[in-house]
Amino acid sequence: EIVMTQSPATLPVSPGERATLSCRASHSVSRDLAWYQQRPGQAPRLLIYGASTRATGVPARFSGSGSGTEFTLTVSNLQSEDFAVYHCQQYYDWPLTFGGGTKVEIK
């Protein structure tokens, strides 16, 4: 099983600043990596797939990078609606696995 590790667990950020989230895979997943946003009480929402491709309707302030075992999600100019939990997921191999999540909170 490919273990996905996200860091940090909690990230305090001021509105308007940049948040940088990390996701590490225990084995290479090539670029088969997705990022999701989950607001409180809501279902997850796809942000990024293929490590760096934004999903339909996702603002350009969200960007993904990386390949192999190291991935980054960057959220620029944080808006109030961006304070949420972010999950990464590998789909390179079965079982599909998620990271533990990073909560971006208001500093």
Q: Under the rule (CB under 8 A), what is the footprint of another protein?
A: 32, 34, 36, 38, 42-46, 49, 55-56, 87, 89, 91, 94-101
- Between strands 102-106 and 10-13, the pairing is parallel
User: Within 13 A of 22's CA, how many CA atoms are on the CB side?
Assistant: 8
* CB nearer another protein, residue 44 or residue 66: 44
* CB nearer another protein, residue 69 or residue 102: 102
Q: Whole-number minimum distance, CB 37 to another protein, in Å?
A: 11
Strand, helix or coil for residue 71: strand
Report the distance separating Cα 36 and Cα 101, nearest Å: 9
**Residue 100 CA: distances (Å) to CA of 20, 24, 58, 86, 97:** 16, 11, 22, 9, 10
* CB nearer another protein, residue 16 or residue 95: 95
* CB nearer another protein, residue 8 or residue 15: 8
